[in-house]
Amino acid sequence: MRTLITNGTVVNADGSFRADVLIEDELIAAVGLSGDRSESGQALGALSGALSGEAVDRTIDAAGRWVIPGGIDPHTHMDLPFGGTSSKDDFETGTRAAAFGGTTTILDFAVQTKGEALRPGLETWMAKAEGACAIDYGFHMIMGDVNDATLKEMDQLVEDGVTDFKLFTAYPGVFLSDDGAIFSAMRQTAENGGLILMHAENGVAIDIVANANAAAGLTDPYYHGVSRMPVFEGECVNRVIRFAEAAEVPVYIVHLSSRDALEEVVRGRDRGAMAFAETCPQYLFLSLDDMDNGFEGAKFVCSPPLRPADHQEDLWRGLVRDDLQTVGTDHCPFDFEGQKDLGKDDFRKIPNGLPGVEERMDLVFQGVVNGRMTRERWVEVTSTAAARIFGLAGRKGAIAPGYDADIVVYDPEKKHVLSASTHHMNVDYSCYEGMEVQGHSEIVLSRGRVIVEDGEYRGSKGHGRFLKREVAREYLR
């Protein structure tokens, strides 16, 4: 099967140019300057036959469109049991919604059950995803128990393509690891070449403030946000980066939400720490004010929480300056009715997490629309950087020969309104209800196959494959 995407502008992290893209089966076979640019001296050479449309099964005319590498969302939670319920999107519905939004790879989190080994947790998540996904997927491993046996298991998981491990300084009694556990896991990972992911907020201190607020009758969702103070995030980001420096291991801060945390990442990187960080659209677009609306605020309960609006500008600047490398969604949707209302009378019982896997590419694109970032940086933070950090370089994250043909034909002008009535995520609300955005995915290909076109899903359950990832030593060190 040969597909030719013609007349478009290829946008990669390292530059943009008018070019035709030839796909053979699952891979990008060639990228050649468009006919109207061939006088520039870069002859199309051997490609010319194919690029002129001969022996091609399908030609996609991308005139006026951008041809970008499919998005990579490095942080999703499909079908995650959490907070007394389970996140509403499973791997089928969640990956389909991701595809509609121009994301062609997700990295989800397998969870170790406390008291068990890592492997059974990974197998449980493999079974959830196998045969269900519309797009390719990989796993990070959440470590709940660090002991001699699980430390040894980490090495084998890295060999098997699960190259990173998420630990928590939050959620006491559920996921929290103490300093010793975190530092031990870091030392092990320094040896096996993997990467440590940290949910860095001080859960012990947070619980003291949260419990005091609840005892004083301050039980609305808003107090979830107020209790989880930015300083608690900054303190932990500093601590885990310092530990990582001592262990000589790269560390990646997930879902960074505040100026306080960002400042610690900048300080660490300036010292030469192998520190990387991800923020999420909710921290760039939403604020604590959205939570200050009675129980409606439960729609915005996630951890770390939304911050006062003045943090947003710092996060945008961090993204542009490469203090923050990626934008993940932390997609973890719970219905407002029937799930979020578990915490109707007490914010501590509201399941933590927001939907967003479908909206990420378009939301971050608003940074291009309003002139904050270049289109190349947009591609970098939504795709290319995640490929590099998470061991997918050379396969995903660029429009180049030999790469998987995960491609989005993107209309940079198309305006649309975000709404639960039109989105494809399996959740009963949108955090961005009624917001008009510019830019939208028109055609989405996953490994050469068109999976979204004309606003319709044309993919199939089970097309998505597990990605056995490489250690990304060269990039991370």
Give contact residues for ligand URP (rule: CB under 6 A): 77, 199, 255, 302-303, 330, 332, 352-353
Q: Which is nearer to ligand URP, 255 or 449 (CB)?
A: 255
Q: Is 228 in the site for Zn ion (CB under 5 A)?
A: no
Contact 326, 74 (CB under 8 A): yes
Q: What token pair was written down for 213?
A: 């607020």
Residue 3 or 303 having the CB closest to ligand URP = 303
Nearest to ligand URP of 77, 259 (CB atom): 77
User: Which single residue is written with the structure tokens 């019982």?
Assistant: 349
Contact between 330 and Zn ion (CB under 5 A)?
A: yes
Determine the Cα–Cα distance for residues 334 and 56; give it in Å rounded to an integer.
44
Rounded Cα gap, residues 365 and 437, in angstroms: 9
Closest CB to ligand URP among 10 and 277?
277
181 binds, among Zn ion, ligand URP, none (CB under 5 to 8 A by kind): none
Cβ proximity to ligand URP: between 118 and 302 the closer is 302
Residues between 17 and 76 with contacts to Zn ion, criterion CB under 5 A = none
Given the complex with Zn ion, which of 330 and 359 has the nearer CB atom? Answer: 330
Distance in Å, CB of 233 to Zn ion, minimum: 11
Least distance from C-beta 166 to ligand URP, angstroms? 8
Q: How far is the CB of 81 from ligand URP (least distance, A)?
A: 11
List, in sequence order, every beta strand (DSSP E) within 25-163: 27-33, 58-61, 66-69, 71-76, 81-82, 85-86, 103-111, 136-142
Give one word for 169, left, alpha or beta, with left for phi > 0 and alpha for psi -120 to 50.
alpha
- Shortest Cβ contact with Zn ion: which residue? 199
Judged by CB under 5 A, the stretch of 59-67, 197-205, 305-313, 415-423 that binds Zn ion is 197-205
Residue with tokens 């099967």: 1
Residue nearest ligand URP (C-beta atom): 352
Task: Give the Å distances, CA to CA, from 427 to 93, 134, 332, 410, 456.
Answer: 10, 18, 10, 25, 19
Residue 353 binding result from ligand URP, Zn ion, none, given CB thresholds of 5 to 8 Å by partner type:
ligand URP
Instruction: Please compute, for residue 443, the number of CA atoms within 13 A of its CA located in the half-sphere on the CB side.
Output: 18
**φ, ψ at 447 (rounded to 5°):** 45, 50
Segment near Zn ion (CB under 5 A); pick from 191-199, 218-226, 336-344, 402-410: 191-199
For residue 252, give Cα distances in angstroms to 44, 182, 249: 41, 13, 10
Instruction: Provide the minimum distance between the beta carbon of 435 and Zn ion in the complex, in angstroms, as a whole number.
Output: 23
Cβ 327 to ligand URP shortest distance, Å: 14
Residue 252, classed as helix, strand or coil, is strand
Partner that binds at residue 302, options Zn ion, ligand URP, none, CB closer than 5 to 8 Å by kind: ligand URP
Cβ burial, residue 349 (10 Å; 0-12/13-18/19+)? middle
Report the interface residues with Zn ion, using CB under 5 A.
Answer: 199, 330
